[in-house]
Homo-oligomer: A and B are copies of this chain.
């Protein structure tokens, strides 16, 4: 699995050869093909294992701001240059085979969204935010997206930017009026 991730980051999905992965893993292509029907399944499984190494979970730190800072820093640390090369390479290969990218995306969501949701649920329980904003998943994409984007453009990510993400964007968005107008009027209908 580690060898597959390594080769993927170096040469991309198109140029990845099962023989090269086998060579680095001290194995043989037939041994790999016994476990995985093909390259797509090998890469998908390798990414799944790689993702399981990323810890998105944030412990209770007593305040929403502290947890958002920790979450944002974890995301920045998780998005290593090697992982960004894998994302870019899979995207380029997705015209021929979208499965590894779709699998990566679904898996990232399934790991990151519950961790994000837990931070917000705790903030609501503490009374720091009114209720879970309708757009909470979209708000959760902001920090990863800005960090990925800066890295793609080779812009260095500094601590001040991560703090600004939390104070100038995430906190205001999470504290904004939680109920859209349409929901508010639906509540009125019940009266």
Contact = CB atoms under 8 A, between A and B. Distances in A.
Interface string A143-162: 01110111011110000010
A64 interface: no
26 contacts: A85-B92, A88-B88, A88-B91, A88-B152, A89-B92, A91-B152, A94-B154, A101-B152, A101-B153, A104-B153, A108-B153, A135-B168, A138-B146, A138-B161, A138-B168, A138-B169, A139-B168, A141-B149, A142-B145, A142-B146, A145-B149, A168-B176, A169-B169, A172-B172, A172-B175, A173-B173
Interface in A1-45: 12
Interface string A68-108: 00000000000000001101110110100010011011001
Given A144-B149, A165-B138, A92 B98 contact: no
Contacts of A105: 153-155
A66 interface: no
Interface of A: 12, 84-85, 87-89, 91-92, 94, 98, 101-102, 104-105, 108, 133-135, 138-139, 141-142, 144-146, 148-150, 152-155, 161, 164-165, 167-169, 171-173, 175-176, 180
A172 B135 CA distance: 12
A165 B105 CA distance: 20
A12 B95 CA distance: 14
A150 to B, nearest CB: 8
